[in-house]
Amino acid sequence: MPGKMYKRLILCQLIFLGLDLASFTIAEEQFIYSGFSQANLSLDGTATITPEGLLQLTNGTFNLKGHALYPAPLQFRRHPTGDVQSFSLTFIFSILSAIPDKGADGMAFFISTNKSFSNALPAQYLGILNDQNNGNTSNHIFAVELDTIQNSEFQDISDNHVGININSLHSVQSRDAGFYDDKNGVFKNLTLVSRDVMQVWVEYDAGSTQIDVTLAPIKVAKPTRPLVSAIYNLSTVLPGTAYIGFSSATGVINSRYYVLGWSFSMGGTASGIDIRKLPKLPHVGPRPRSKVLKIIMPATIAASIFVAGALLVLLVRRKLAYTELREDWETEFGPNRFSYKDLFLATEGFKNKNLLGTGGFGKVYKGILPTNKLEVAVKRLSHESRQGTKEFITEIVSIGRLRHRNLVQLLGYCRRKGELLLVYDYMPNGSLDKYLYSEDKLSLDWNKRFHIIKGVASCLLYLHEECESVVIHRDIKASNVLLDSELNGRLGDFGLAKSYDHGSDPQTTRVVGTMGYLAPELVRTGKPSPLTDVFAFGTFLLEITCGQRPVKQNAQGDRFMLVDWVLEHWQKGSMVETIDKRLQGNCNINEACLVLKLGLLCSQPFARSRPSMNHVMLYLNGDMPLPEFTPTDTSLNMLALMENRGLDPSAIMLLHVKLICLLLLAGASLAACTAGDGNDDDHQFVYSGFTGSNLTLDGAAVITRTGLLELTNGTLRQKAHAIHPAPFRLRGGSSSSSTATATATATATATRSFSASFVFAILCPDADACGHGIVFFVAPANHSFSGAFPSQYIGLFNGSSDGDAGNHLVGVELDTDQNNEFRDIDGNHIGVDINSLTSINSTSAGYYDDNDGGNSGDHGFHNLTLASHGEAMQVWVDYNGTAKQITVAMAPLKMAKPSKPLLSSTYDLSTVFVADEPYMVGFSSATGSFNSRHYVLGWSFAMDGPAPAIDIDKLPKLPRFAPKHKPKMVEIIPPLATATFIVALGTVSVLLTRRRMRYTELREDWEVEFGPHRFSYKDLFRATDGFKSMNLVGVGGFGRVYKGVLQSSKLEIAVKRVSHDSKQGMKEFIAEVVSIGRLQHRNLVQLLGYCRRKGELLLVYEYMANGSLDKHLYSEGDKRVLDWDQRLQIIKGIASGLLYLHEEWEKVIVHRDIKTSNVLLDSEMNSRLGDFGLARLYDRGADPLTTHVVGTIGYLSPELGRSSKATPLTDIFAFGIFILEVTCG
């Protein structure tokens, strides 16, 4: 009877307490969850229990927190005055991150007297604390953190550690994640964000007050040695009752935190979790590939041996002597690839009797190709020379696709082990220097010399201004000018050439070239430009007119420059005496003197004083008179300039004095001849690039060789500062660098107006994971950033100094990370900061377009992404001292400053800045757990007025940027090669052949002559989605044009699909391949390649994003009206293209269909002439032999109706109509 009463009492007590028996396995003060399907945990934030029974703390969203608590508080003290009891727990967890090797901010097990965490912050605060209560003893929180981001504010040891925390996120003890192996005692590292399942044990011993935390992979027994231990009496932290649970938070990465099982015990050891009952984790990342089966049969082995033997016997022996190498870069270039066997036979085994000459990198042989009996010159580069290999690739890149009547034609190349060969047109009359200096050669008369000069000048104009890229030759001299059978001058030897995009900077630091032709600035900077070619061309002009070498030697053995010798005669009035005596006076004196003076003008010691090749051509053609200049304008010993590396200090000083005297004689301003960037005066400065600037740099900040201010270099948790060296006085007086008195309007109590502008770019490896941005700041000149933190503090403040009015700092932040501590509105915003990183005003990055909104004044807002992967943007910061107003505007680069600012705040900075104290201006930047790079390309600043304009054209080029691609793990199975080979010969080869029958192509004899790449029909079919109507760009007389994207390179293209059954279509197809297949000009639509298939004729072009010109002239739709500057630029571009077709290419090309619909506009609104379907090509001096009138009504010249003969003049007639059409609209 008493026993039954006892059981009833126990049952009533359980019911009264409302405990869920399913949640417990032993007693009130212990529990175990092997999965959470039936658990009644208290959840908030993003925490949830999945249908599979997983406790999911975060759901993959950004900047959020989640908590899961045991539903009832636990009694940690047996008596109110007693000590905290011993306790033990274990849990199994996994962290699944969207970015491999990078996690969000981590998770923590905690014990807390408080059940609500509504005021806690996510990100680095892990959803437990915030920036106000972190470190307060009144928190009464004990936690074990699994931290996956290193935060300097909390002195984290790494971004992969386990820590014991008391009332703060600054751990009392921490250790990198891992475990001690019981077998050998060796410590083994673990990665918390590895997506692996791991187990944690936490134990507190009340007697010793020792806390032990142990970590191990799942299925590994608990190690006997804990990972991290600390002695701490939790009785000073925890009261009688407290809640236990988990907290987790995300920042800028969408990680998911899971708890799979949990066990707890008060006063004893936590029970083991049944691993077999744990729920399964969801899959994250790519699905694993199936393994290759190891199937090796005797028949496949025998077949492999047979095929290998056959290849060795029948192929390797026959071709061993002619084995060639094929490299990845070859697929980019157009010239024909010759077989080594053909070149070996052509030169009779490179016999000495065929040797034409020897250069610095190899020998040149004459040869006759056995296939077509064409005479060629074969340059055989030195075998062991790395420079030879570099020269080989340079020539392929530089002139492989260039086409001009005055360039030596590169016909092709050959790459063989130990052999580097280039194949050119054979020039029967050799090099020009042999005619100028050799006694055996007949002297060239003046008319031929003048013709050669104009030809080389035309070629240089093409290289500098008319090619797709700027090409600098870097070695212009008489020995590199070759003469063809008609004594036309052709520029060759591009082994030192450098090509780069128009408007960018050639990335070179080495001085290369030939003594006597080197421009003075090359010795100082090593940086070539088109004007260094102009200098060498000036020496070439003097050389060919005087018949003298560029460096002369007198009877006493002293060397002097040819330019100085000519200059001396000009000063004496005897310039005619410098003309080559072998001409015997039989020359046009006026032309010769013109060339001599032009040579001196091109040889000016200062690059900006030299003419461009465009002007040189105008001078030579008599279309423009030479500018007025006198012999005293160029009086400078050029040889000393060339050798200034060997001068002693006194000689260098003397040279500087001569330079100053020269500038004074020429009436030039010294300010105009300095580098131009970073010119400071009393109240302003401007940097259009930072080469040669003297900014004060610290941390990771550097100035790159190209002139970029690189604030962060891609390392983690770094800060950087770049500061202008001269401080400014913002309240009263003038800048400290000024000797002028303060303006009358400045007072000691008012902050003066100031203005700044800068161009920046932020490069991040991942769009969802970026560093912490850039700040333009104004701070006291004696302010130190040594105690500032990186990461969210952006190198300006730390946890204690943020918000301190004693900072006296104003900043404009470009923030790429949303931080709840500073109430950031998003991860892509602009903010105005006063003494704190909590902005007084902020808004999402973007700009108001002045061209949007019509006459209403309601400017359209356009979003911008600060971390735009290499797209530069410009920011303007203005403070109006009278109105006490700060405005910030921004826009994409090359766009004018918007009239409506992005944000505006009224704030009297006199309450921030101290009167009569100097202030510095500069930039601060920082990274956290992501390797972002922050760049400033240009910067200007001014007091009491607008900041000077930054010269966009002079800005350095950003480095190429692409997200890093990690190498894939490849499983190597020995029999894989054999099995694949047999399958390829057998079943797979049959299947692939059948599948490709629909893409069968025709190859015809005439195709081997042309340079463009041949595309497969399959690639073009896929690029255009099967030539769907949605990709149709336009319809012409012979076929349709489709937009496409090549799958291999993601390049946008336009594909012309010529009518199937049209004979005229076939004729047009061949005409376009012949006409523009080898043309290279920046104002011609580039033919990338072609495809010939039965019933299909296709041409592949560059895609022109802005379509044809006629749509911009006549469309009533959304097309924006072209302004006059754009129209004039279009007219000039088409004129340049026609000049190239009519006069500068090796043959004459008559377009025959010039009209606005055949002029296309690229993304920068540059005009390009296209549609060469009616073009006619013929040799110079020959008859075009046309009998049909073709073209468009309104553009046909009158003589076509009578004779049907197309000539360059009929193109000019059509061009005249085109000019009227563009002008009149």
Annotated catalytic residues are 475
Show Cβ contacts of residue 682 under 8 Å, excluding neighbours closer than 6 positions. Answer: 734, 735, 737, 738, 739, 740
Contact 671, 936 (CB under 8 A): no
Which ranges in 229-339 belong to alpha helices (H)?
298-311, 317-319
Give yes or no for a contact between 517 and 475, defined as CB atoms under 8 angstroms apart.
yes
The CA distance from 112 to 448, in Å, is 97
Using DSSP's 3-state secondary structure scheme, residue 625 falls into coil
**CA dist 305 to 975, 976, 985, 1191, Å?**
13, 15, 14, 64
β-pair partners for 322:
none
Query: In terms of Cα–Cα distance, which of 1152, 1205, 1197, 1191 is closest to 1175?
Result: 1152
Residue 1076, Cα to own-chain centre: how many angstroms? 31
Residue where the block lists tokens 């997506």: 195
The one-letter amino acid code at 444 reads L
For residues 126 and 248, the answer to whether their CB atoms sit within 8 Å is yes
Q: Is the dihedral of CA 121, 122, 127, 128 positive or negative?
A: negative
Is residue 212 a contact partner of residue 161, using CB atoms and an 8 Å limit? no
Tokens of 214: 């142990």
| Residue whose C-alpha is closest to residue 402's, from 467, 454, 465 | 467
β pairing state of 410-416 and 481-483: unpaired
From 1149, 1140, 1157, select the one nearest 1210 (Cα to Cα): 1149
Contact 919, 781 (CB under 8 A): yes
Three-state DSSP at 925 gives strand
The DSSP secondary structure of 372-400, one letter per residue, reads T--EEEEEEE-SS-HHHHHHHHHHHHHHS
With contact defined as beta carbons under 8 Å apart, do 1088 and 1056 qualify? no
List of residues 6+ apart from 389 with CB closer than 8 A:
381, 420
How buried is residue 172: exposed, middle or buried, by Cβ count under 10 Å (0-12/13-18/19+)? middle
Cβ atoms 89, 270 nearer than 8 A: yes
Q: Show Cβ contacts of residue 85 under 8 Å, excluding neighbours closer than 6 positions.
A: 76, 77, 78, 206, 266, 267
For 1156, the 3-state DSSP assignment is: helix
How far apart are alpha carbons 591 and 587 in whole angstroms?
A: 8
**1113 is written with which tokens?**
């002239």
Contacts of 452 (CB under 8 A, 6+ apart): 432, 444, 481, 483, 487, 488, 489, 544
For residue 1018, say whether it is annotated as part of any ligand binding site: no
**Between vectors from CA 749 to CA 747 and to CA 755, what angle results, nearest 5°?**
75
- 194: Cα separation from own chain's centroid: 31
Question: Residue 666 carries which DSSP code?
Answer: T
Query: Could you tell me which residues are beta bridge partners of residue 935?
Result: 710, 761
| Contact criterion met (CB below 8 Å) for 268 and 81 | no
Nearest CA among 61, 50, 44 for reference residue 120:
44
Of 169, 83, 89, the C-alpha closest to 124 is 169
How far is it, in rounded angstroms, from Cα 278 to Cα 271?
15
Query: At residue 971, what are phi and psi to the nearest 5 degrees?
Result: -90, 125
Instruction: Cite the annotated binding site for ATP by residue number.
Output: 1056
Instruction: Cite the annotated binding site by residue number.
Output: 1056
